[in-house]
Structure 1
Amino acid sequence: MTAAHIIYWMSPDQPISLADDLAARSDELLLDLLQARPDLASPPPPGVAVLAQRALSAASINRCGEDLDVLSVAVLETLGALRRASGGGAVTAAAITEALSERADTAAIGARIDSLAALALIWGPADALQTGPHMPAAWPWRSALATAPINLLDLASIREKIDRLGERERDLLTTLSTGPGLGRTRDAALGPDSNRPVPQLIAQNMLVVVDDQTVELPVVIGQLLRDEEPAEPTPLRPPELTGAGGRKIGLGEVDAAAAGEALEFLRHSTDALEALGAQPATVLRAGGMGVREIRRLTKVVSVDEKRMGLVLEVLSGLRLIDSGFPVPDISDGLEPSWAPTTSADSWIHQSSERRWFSIASAWIDLHRRPWQIGDRTPEGTIIGALVGSIPEGAARAERMLVLQALAEAKPGAAVTPTSLGRQIAWRHPRWIRRLSQATIAETLSEAQALGLVAHGALTSAGREIVAAGSAEDVETHTLAAMARSIPAPIDFFLAQADQTITAPGPLTPELTADLSLVADLESGGAASVYRVSEASVRRALDAGRTGTELLAFFTSHSKTPVPQSISYLIDDVARKHGQLRVGVASSFIRCEDPTTLAAVLSSPVAESLSLRALAPTVAVTSETLIDVLDQLRAAGFAPAGEDATGELVDLRFRGARLPTPRERQSARKPSLSLPSRERLGAVLTHMRSQDAANSATLVGPGKGGSSVTGGGLPATALLQKALNSKSTVRLGYVNAEGFASRHVVVPRLIGAGQVIAVEPGGDDEHRFSLHRITTVEMVD
């Protein structure tokens, strides 16, 4: 049973108030109202009358209007128009249905009337519906645009009207279409006989009068002037989500394609972290990262600047990179730099689906739009990376609107940006002027780059990440969906004769680390290609691997026989590697082959290092160990570093790091928590209690009744009297927050500065501090 049914059964002789209407509703219906409009419950209203006052306030109605679709707005506009036509009288539901019957289905109109009644935006029986004076606050616009006369025409006719306009009129409409659609002018009060542009446009229904000095541009005209593709304005039915045509694809194919994009984005993110660790990027004076640094990163990671901007913004949102003075600091503390945080090391070793979930969640929660990097602000300044935020929540709300609209399509069904824009405009008309087609297209492009969307459809993981539920449930279900989409990691590869290594699927993290040490990545993706070279083998030997260990690694993991080209290369590099040993003297060079050391001493590098021979197999220098290694390698030798015990040491640079900020964002920030139904039940109980207290019948003086104002001994004495006679009293009480309330209770116990009481007919005990009781009154 809906709220509307209960309201319609009432047939008072005179219009009822919203307070009377709410008082007649059941607890379940009031709980539905508080859950749909949670602002009404904070702070808990002291009775239904206060609840009704809040529900009628312009601020609360405005918040409620955020969730109204175009048909609901049209019902409110029609109700308002019919009330004005009747001189402010009540309106029947049948009249609203008849007025909109040619534009919407009768059942849909009735459902909207029931829904608006449940929200307390309208009330009364079906033959006498009413609304409050601030109802226009629920509209997405200042005037009644959903029911404006221009919307009774089709798009072709509206385009013809626009094409027939003069230059002055068209320029005026074009100016209004680029802003909120409102214009201030004294010409709004002029009649249709005036030859000025505004009165002429009003006469043609191409501008709507708000008041004597304000006009508003109809939504559909603004969309056409912005070269958008709106839906036909006459039908008040939700537009269908349509695709671009072509062959039909299934959800499995969508998930597979998105998984490849997700893995590629994870690889680019990891490469960006390594590049910033090896060489942190200087922070600009105005904040953010400069174009030169971004271009350097694009070359290292092999992506374009647009994708690099998205990667950097997401990593920053997840606090995997930050600005500060990293260790080691290449600037010597002179200026801050962008570098990975310590959290990056643990993030890199997480599973692919968990890393993807953190990346996707960080993107959804970003307060900036990465696709705007490089564009110009209205003031003409260039929008840089990692700088210049937009108002809190706006960008996130845009992404959620786009993803949730995609989720309404059938699983695996492709949806065009134009169709998606029409759907969002119908379900959320307040976003028509804020969410342009370009923004929708760019948001879809970013979602596709992250693996949330593929082939124009939302993936299984994308549906889970925008689903309703607790943060824990959303994370669990999303991780499970992405784990099913990403191919299972493999622990093998294919070694080729051209010294390339082909991985036919994503490798396990351990195998990826080992293979990256001995080979260089040439092509990433779901299937990746690596190349073994003399430099990559030397890198593995420098890290402490031996030639025998490298051959065993390829033999144990390659599904194909190890080609001779790879085994010969490893043997050749390993034979030369380490003949020269560099230690700390400041540094020393030792070599078991006197001929090799003699070649070093006779080369030009000996002079630059200031080498001094101590023996046929030993030489020393004042240069550091790293400098000696670098210069010898540049001269064509293959030295290896060793420690004091003669063991090889891994001298690879581990990358600069910054401490993770304390305010680091979680992988998925919980959405704004709404009060639970149990908590709202307590609010409702308090409200009912206040109504009962306010309507209680007091005992008259002639019946032995009495009352006390203020606490102290008189109040305690009257409470003791009620306790002894098991009588009911009405208490005036002020809690610790200063909130005043009334309670009708039966005292059970008085002591220790407190009164323990129960409500009449109930068993739940309530405790009241004696010093906070303001009045005590006996109740009949």
Structure 2
Amino acid sequence: MTKAETDRGLDAALETLADHALVWPDGQGLLHMAEPLRHAWHSPLGLDAPLARLLADTTSEELRRMLVALDIPAPGTTKKDRLATLLEHHSDPERVAAVVASAPVATRKLLERRARHQGEQGQEQTEFLMLGAPRADSESGARWALERGLLVQVRYSGYEPARMPAEVTLALRGADWHAPFKPCPPIVQTVSVSEAEVDREAAAAATAFTAHATSVLAACAASPPARLKSGGVGTRELSRIGKATQCDDIVVRLVLETAYEGGLLARDGDRVAATEGYDAWAEREPAEQLTELLQAWRTLPLTATQARDEAGKALSALAGTPPCGGCVQARDGLLTAAAGLPTDQGVQSPGELGPLVAWHRPLADQLPQDATPFASVAREAELLGAIARGSLSRIGAALQADDGKALAAASRRLLPTATSTARFGADLTAVVTGTPSARLAALLDAVAERETVGTASVWRFSPSTIRCALDTGRTPDAITADLTDVAIGALPQPLSYLIHDTARAHGRVRITPAACVIHSEEPAFLVELAAHRKLAELGLRRLAPTVLVCRTPLDKTLAALRAAGYAPVAEKADGTVRVERTRHRRASAPAPTFLPGQRRRSVPTKTPVDVDLGVLAARLRDAPPTLPDPDRSAPGSPMARTPRRSSPDTRRI
């Protein structure tokens, strides 16, 4: 690119920035930038923070040692004076270059590499010194630079690499270094593609996604997915939904996030449940359903299909993460990059649009899971039909222009109306081309199992699916009539046979709930019990002339019958009569306690002795005081007469 072209590009870029009040001249030939713009990049132009900020927590003694290592007299004893002297030295590129030229070879290579690759996330950055775990081949060189303030290890930064001040980086880059400037977008390889081809592929993708969204949300409405304690829907629930609807994990995540953003799903305690808005959405035409999901995707404050974090850990869906402005920028940059392609041209794959996205939206977030830049957001656009054959579709153009009316019109043009009929085959399948209507999908889901979802959906009938429909109260005639109403032509004979054969076997065995059973050899007596008004609360129902079932437990039933004047007996599970014995309540005696090492001995039973407590107290009061006697066993000594342990009688005083 010639200098004239570069100058024109720079003028155009500055005019654009000035139109947005981000840059303006001051009349003296200098450009000023809005302060918030300085914080948009973590390290603009690959420059770290200036030396004054990096040395803010450095002590005065540490500054003195740096000046001594640089052969600079340390002025005074205050930190302010020493810091000012060091800043003055490092602000002079020639002085910094001279210090680096005198450094050891390892140090010089390390500093030059840092200045060249500062701010990059490549392999070179992983080779930088990390204090506490230095590399063997660069420890001495890094230490030399740290001692002279050419590198700074920020306090309380853990094991982060030592940082290079901006002044040192600029000095090592040289006076002839200029910031990179690319006024024109990068060139990508394109191929010819017709508008009809783009419409055809976009229609297929949009139709398939709408069908997937219908089935995923129907599954969530029938069985709301559980939330993790940490919030969101975990991988296990996502797998369950994907298996039930025959959808990939990426599709399930995209549907859940866009549906939640559009108000079709909401958190309900420990579940994620469908809202009333979903009921209205399910009754709409496919084009209207897709339009609502597309509008939600356009403003979604995250990348819906992000499944891994920077550490490779699996992420849950609907986790309520903070809004990601860079994710919205990535989506907007993708649509803008695709819109800038020449007419009737497209890229081989949407992943090739990554460099264009980065050029149009430099603040866009790139996901760590993407092998190529912006691969996830490009895949989302493909699934939704916004990009087809590497080119912007009608849907994508409407999204890029943020035109709701154009988006609705493009969706109606690309998506057919909902299909209300099905083609039934002799192999016990039902095939629906396009997106089935809500009524048709509900009917087929009730009597068959959905096998495939997409541009054509397939349901399969089996005895178990028909039995499930009969369990809900449907009759075989009603099932046949409902299927006939939506069938293209007559129902195949195998399907009719399946319905009626399953119905004949349905209900041959009946199961009734019962807490106990009452039986007698006198049918008239059981009729009397069932009609007794005082026994109505027992819930008696006659199953056979000699059998009644009762919904009340056995003991309460016995008590009620006896209170009504009858004399029933209870039976055990084996049919024998249960003998009732009166049980007396007894307290259990406490177990005797023993000291560690004490042997357990039997305690002889003693005859109670009547003791006059008054006499015993007088004897204890009038007893002469005793002194310690070394000979405790001497006969007649007071210690011999004094019991070592008090008797049970004395303990009761």
RMSD value, Cα: 4.8
Contact 1:258 1:452 in 2 (8 A): yes
Which letter maps to 1:294? L
Which letter maps to 2:336?
A: Q
Contact 2:420 2:436 in 1 (8 A): yes
Q: 1:299 to 1:467 in 2, by over 3 A?
A: same
Q: Is the 8 A contact 1:251 1:411 kept in 2?
A: no
Q: Is 2:321 the partner of 1:366?
A: no
CA drift at 1:445: 0.9
The DSSP-based 3-state class of the residue aligned with 2:3 is: coil
1:511 to 405, 425, 440: 440
Say whether the 8 Å CA contact 1:210–1:216 is kept in structure 2: no
Whether 1:293 and 2:237 are equivalent positions in the alignment is: yes
Report if aligned partners of 1:496, 1:563 keep a CA contact under 8 Å in 2: yes
Deviation, 1:367, is 2.5
**Which structure 2 residues correspond to residues 121-160 of structure 1 after superposition, within 5 A?**
121=23, 130-134=29-33
Pairwise CA distance, 1:486:
0.8
How far has the Cα of 1:339 moved from its partner?
2.7
1:176 aligns with 2:112: no
How far residue 485 of structure 1 moved from its aligned partner, in angstroms, is: 0.4
Indicate conservation of the 8 Å contact 1:425/1:431, yes or no.
yes
| Aligned residue number for residue 398 of structure 2 | 464
Please report how far the alpha carbon of residue 177 of structure 1 lies from its aligned counterpart in structure 2 after TM superposition. Answer: 0.6
Could you tell me how far 1:172 is from its partner in structure 2?
7.1
Change in 2 beyond 3 A, CA 1:437/1:407: farther
Task: Tell me how far 1:542 sits from its aligned partner.
Answer: 4.2
* Distance change >3 Å, CA 216–CA 492, structure 1 → 2: farther
Partner Cα distance (2:350, 2:109) in 1: 32
Matched, 1:309 2:259: no
* 2:332 partner letter: M
Contact 2:338 2:353 (C-alpha < 8 Å) held by counterparts: yes
The residue aligned with 1:406 is 338
SS in 2 for 1:366: coil
2:309 corresponding residue in structure 1 = 376
Superposition deviation, residue 238 in structure 1: 2.8
Contact kept? 1:494, 1:558, Cα under 8 Å: yes
Among 352, 360, 363, the alignment partner of 1:427 is: 360
Q: Which has the larger radius of gyration?
A: 2
Letter of the 1:368 partner, please give it: L
Residues 178/454 of structure 1: CA separation in 2 closer, same or farther (3 Å cut)? same
Please tell me whether the aligned partners of residues 286 and 417 of structure 2 are also in contact (alpha carbons under 8 angstroms). no
Q: Percent identity?
A: 28
**Cross-structure match for 1:355:** 289
Answering whether residue 328 of structure 2 is matched by residue 385 of structure 1, we say: no
Whether the 8 Å CA contact 1:353–1:483 is kept in 2: the answer is: yes
- Residue identity matched to 1:321: L
How far apart, in 2, do the equivalents of 1:381 and 1:350 lie? 38
Against the structure 1 CA distance between its residues 367 and 271, is the aligned structure 2 distance closer, same or farther, given a 3 Å change threshold? same
SS at the partner of 2:5? coil
Question: Which residue matches 2:381?
Answer: 447
Alignment check: 8 A CA contact 2:211 2:435 kept: no
Describe the superposition over 1:37-93 as per-residue Cα deviations: whole angstroms up to 9, x where unpaired. Answer: xxxxxxxxxxxxxxxxxxxxxxxxxxxxxxxxxxxxxxxxxxxxxxxxxxxxxxxxx
Please tell me the residue identity of whatever aligns with 1:251: E
Task: State the 1:566 CA deviation.
Answer: 1.1
8 Å CA contact retained: 1:614, 1:620: no
After superposition, give the CA deviation of every residue in 1:601-625 in whole Å (9 maximum; x if it has no partner). Answer: xxxxxxxxx9962359x985649xx
| Change beyond 3 A, Cα 1:293–1:434 | closer
Task: Could you tell me which runs of 5 or more consecutive residues in structure 1 were left unpaired when the two chains were aligned.
Answer: 1-99, 146-164, 185-194, 201-208, 219-232, 326-335, 469-473, 589-609, 624-780
Counterpart amino acid of 1:494? R
CA distance in 2: counterparts of 1:274 and 1:400, whole angstroms? 30
Report SS of the residue matched to 1:502: strand
Structure 1 residues 108 and 553 mapped into 2: Cα distance closer, same or farther (>3 Å)?
Answer: same
Aligned residues: 430
Confirm or deny that 1:270 pairs with 2:218.
Answer: no
Does the 8 Å CA contact 2:418/2:436 hold for their aligned counterparts? yes
User: Take 1:566 and 1:443, find their aligned partners in 2: how far apart are those partners?
Assistant: 45
TM-aligned CA distance change 1:537 to 1:135, over 3 Å: closer
Displacement of 1:560:
4.5
Shift of 1:481: 0.5
2:409 counterpart of 1:492: no
CA drift of 1:561 comes to 4.1
Report the Cα distance in structure 2 between the residues aligned to 1:622 and 1:562, rounded to whole angstroms. 45
The 5 A counterparts of 1:695-710 are none
Equivalence for 2:497: 568
Which residue identity lines up with residue 315 of structure 1 in the other structure?
A
Q: Distance in 2 between matches of 1:266 and 1:216?
A: 58
Change (3 A) 1:530 1:431: closer
The answer to whether 1:237 aligns with 2:180 is no
**Aligned partners of 1:103 and 1:234 also within 8 Å:** no
Contact kept, 8 Å, 2:285 with 2:437, in 1: the verdict is no
2:493 & 2:448 partners in 1: Cα distance? 16
Secondary structure, aligned partner of 1:370: coil
Q: Which amino acid aligns with 1:361?
A: Q
The Cα shift of 1:496 comes to: 1.3
Deviations 1:701-743 (A, max 9, x none): xxxxxxxxxxxxxxxxxxxxxxxxxxxxxxxxxxxxxxxxxxx
What corresponds to 1:104 in structure 2?
5
Contact 1:313–1:385 under 8 Å retained in 2: yes
Give 1:107 deviation, angstroms. 6.2
Q: For residue 103 of structure 1, report the CA deviation from its aligned partner.
A: 6.2
Q: Is 1:551–2:480 an aligned residue pair?
A: yes
Query: Does 2:456 align with 1:527?
Result: yes
Counterparts of 1:265 and 1:502, CA distance in 2? 18
Instruction: Please identify which structure carries the higher strand content.
Output: 1
Q: Quote the Cα distance in structure 1 between the aligned partners of 2:338 and 2:361.
A: 14
- Deviation string, structure 1 residues 628-668 (Cα, Å, up to 9, x no partner): xxxxxxxxxxxxxxxxxxxxxxxxxxxxxxxxxxxxxxxxx
| Alignment partner, residue 648 of structure 1 | none
Aligned 8 A contact 2:428 2:494 in 1: yes
SS in 2 for 1:308: helix
- Name the CA distance, whole Å, in 1 between partners of 2:549 and 2:195: 67
CA deviation after TM superposition for structure 1 residue 392, in Å: 4.4
Residues 499 and 531 in structure 1, CA contact (< 8 A), matched pair in contact too: yes
Structure 1 counterpart of 2:318, which letter?
Answer: L
* Deviation sequence 1:379-404 (CA, Å, 0-9, x none): x8653322262444332222112122
Deviation, 1:412, is 5.8
Pair 1:477-2:424 in alignment: no
Amino acid at match of 1:423: L
Conserved 8 A contact 1:255-1:459: yes
> One-letter code of the match for 2:121?
T
Aligned partners of 2:35, 2:437: CA distance in 1, in Å?
59
Evaluate the alpha carbon distance shift between residue 448 and residue 581 of structure 1 in structure 2; reply closer, same or farther with a 3 A threshold. same
One-letter amino acid matched to 1:409:
L
| Structure 1 residues 271 and 357: alpha-carbon distance in aligned structure 2, compared to 1, 3 A threshold | same
> Cα 1:238–1:587, aligned 2, differ >3 Å: closer, same or farther?
farther
Deviations 1:105-124 (A, max 9, x none): 77656655765676675569
Q: CA deviation at 1:521?
A: 1.5
TM-score when scaled to structure 1?
Answer: 0.46
Residue 51 of structure 1: aligned partner: none
